[in-house]
Chains A and B, each alone.
Chain A
């Protein structure tokens, strides 16, 4: 049979394709519906948080930081409760990372504050002596892309039914609503209001001035995102 295949390239290619496609079908398909169900208490990202998530991705933070806490005592001691599949239901793309040059950030919002991040992103080794993380000072000057964050909200809402402007069940039995602006201008106004809350806890004058003039620096969006990781 193999000799025959080697003389008939078309059938050879078909045989190869079937052999390699088989594993993917068996492994990936059965899980799809179940794994994408959110756990109780998991909320989609607000406009500002999503803009911050884009800053995180733009700078490949995931190259050095994971967002996946494995079910070991040493990990839950260090980072908090181990990760559940449904907690990632609104993560597109997933940001588990594959290397911990720095610590896991899955629940960083529980342990760090806005002003800690501000100091740390400006001068990491000043906050953690011995840190090899580079400084990210350009984030204090670059403007965050709120338009694209809003575009993503609209897209996931339309295409994947991500529940914006709808009550979402929380763990304590209450509900919360994550707003998505009815228009780009509404979304921008909302993001700016959130940004002002963050900037109030910061001390960098350039950042404060930018927010006061209606612009959102990348660092503010990033901190909003990091604070949401709980």
Chain B
């Protein structure tokens, strides 16, 4: 074999990077609009009475969650896969025209599916299950895109030069398999048109009814969080943090324990979404117990990452990229402690149905998922586009403004959630309910406003990110990868 480094082909990675940025802006912009609508309901009519149907909170809400989860995050996962996969398997996409074709096809179909999702959700074509809103024709598209990703993963593994699979690959494989299983089972439905011959072609009925439907949905819903918002993001941090810092992963054994522990425990925890519902008690208890056990493998990964920085903490001050990743793993620890606390039955009785849950989701996704994706894209950009990052100070500003945004977000939602939960259950001295429902809504106005401000700050950071990346792609100083091998893009 020749003695020069492999030339990796980042075409597909580049496309997905751009998709990540665009869909991140769209998804979070919709989120901020929703936040303002809750604080000031007049915003529901921002485009006038005629378009109220399409700017209304309830129509936009699934669009926000799906755009951020399956748009921004999944694009980020794909972008990093088409970058990290080649590098840790020591094989270039250019070596296999077949895999190159599969990658490009996957991207094109993915974009078509995303467009179909946006249009269909705005039109109100939804099956109402959270994070599984898409109707069956779109589900079929999702399956094709996902199978193509599987072909890409196992195809690249099939022609690899490095025989041992690096930790990141474990997590990508797990994400692929688990999402495939969960998505298929949760979306099992019968299209009504083909049975009855009348009505909308889009419509279908779930194969499961009532309590069973809820059980399958939250087995899916919770683990969609696990295998979209957790495992692939852990895959990213296991690659990018050691690479960027120049440090070796702290402990192989800890990564082993965390991986297999996470795989075994996570799937049990879905029951914590159904505490005090009509699913059997033992399932609720299993959900609670396993959620608490889940702290172990989650913290295992996070601590492993933080200890990887041992002796190199000065980098946190000097390199904004390391800042993003260290804060991401800190938020991962924080969020995976908060979740199990909310899963404890007595806490859940208070927290369920309140904004505290919304706060929990957002400290996870804003603090952990999105920060890690920003960091990954910042690390990849100089190597993919062969240009330096346009502005380091803009990165720093983005970091601080977004951190402030996240803190405002989750603190206001904690207070809102606990306040509302306490008011719902308050009884007066005669044993009557102390508050009518509307009292528990109007009291939240200040917190909804603070949340909207926090979200807006975060969105401003996303615009900075988009601008910085755009300038990096088009206008920044050129740099060759050989000049920055084993050094930070910041140092180059």
Chain A residues within CB distance 8 Å of chain B: 2-3, 6-7, 9, 12-13, 16-17, 19-24, 27-28, 31-32, 35-36, 54, 57-64, 66, 68, 70-75, 77-78, 83-103, 125, 128-138, 145, 147-152, 154-156, 158-160, 184
Contact = CB atoms under 8 A, between A and B. Distances in A.
B209 A92 contact: yes
Given A134-B44, A159-B190, A24 B267 contact: yes
A36 B177 contact: no
A27 B353 contact: no
A94 B207 CA distance: 11
Nearest to A71: B276
Contacts of B279: 31, 35, 85
Most buried by B among A66, A151, A154, A184: A151
B217 interface: yes
Interface string B349-392: 10011110110000000000000000000000000000000000
Central interface residue in B277, B278, B442, by most chain A CB within 10 Å: B278
Contact of A60 (B45, B126, B216, B219): B126
Interface stretch (B10-18, B54-62, B104-112): B54-62
A6 B165 contact: yes
B357 A99 contact: yes
B209 A101 contact: no
Residue in B130, B198, B264 whose Cβ sees the most chain A Cβ within 10 Å: B198
7 contacts: A16-B170, A20-B177, A60-B126, A64-B58, A70-B349, A94-B213, A159-B190
Interface of B: 37-38, 41, 44-45, 49, 52-53, 56-59, 61-62, 124-130, 154, 157, 163-165, 170, 173-174, 177-178, 181, 185, 190, 192-193, 195-200, 203, 205-206, 208-217, 219, 256, 260, 263-264, 266-268, 270-271, 273, 276-280, 283, 286, 349, 352-355, 357-358, 424-427, 432-433, 437-438, 441-442
Nearest to A56: B128
Nearest to A149: B199
A198 to B, nearest CB: 22
Contacts of B130: 98
B51 to A, nearest CB: 10
Given A20-B174, A27-B219, 7 more contacts: A19-B264, A20-B263, A60-B126, A77-B432, A88-B209, A92-B213, A155-B195
A151 B192 contact: yes
Given A23-B267, A31-B279, A134-B52, A148 B58 contact: no
B403 to A, nearest CB: 26
A7 B163 contact: yes
Q: Chain B interface secondary structure, helix, strand, loop or mixed? A: helix
A159 B195 contact: yes
A152 B173 CA distance: 38
Contact of B200 (A20, A89, A145): A145
Contact of A150 (B170, B196, B211, B278): B196
Nearest to A156: B205
Contacts of A24: 181, 185, 219, 267
Contact of A28 (B59, B205, B206, B219): B219
Given A36-B210, A64-B58, A100 B433 contact: no
B41 A36 contact: no
B260 A94 contact: no
A9 B157 contact: yes
Given A16-B173, A22-B267, A23-B268, A94 B214 contact: yes
A88 B210 contact: yes
Contact of A151 (B193, B217, B271): B193
Nearest to A100: B353
Contact of A27 (B185, B268, B276, B441): B268
A171 B81 CA distance: 58
Contacts of A152: 192, 196, 199, 203, 205
A97 B353 CA distance: 8
Contacts of B44: 134-135
Contact of A130 (B192, B198, B278, B438): B438
A149 B190 CA distance: 14
Contacts of B157: 9
Given A59-B59, A74-B433, A134-B41, A7 B165 contact: yes
A125 B37 CA distance: 14
Contacts of A91: 209-210, 213
B215 A150 contact: no
B43 to A, nearest CB: 9
Nearest to B158: A9
Q: Which residue, A2, A75, A155, A184, has most C-beta atoms of chain B within 10 A?
A: A155
Contacts of A149: 199
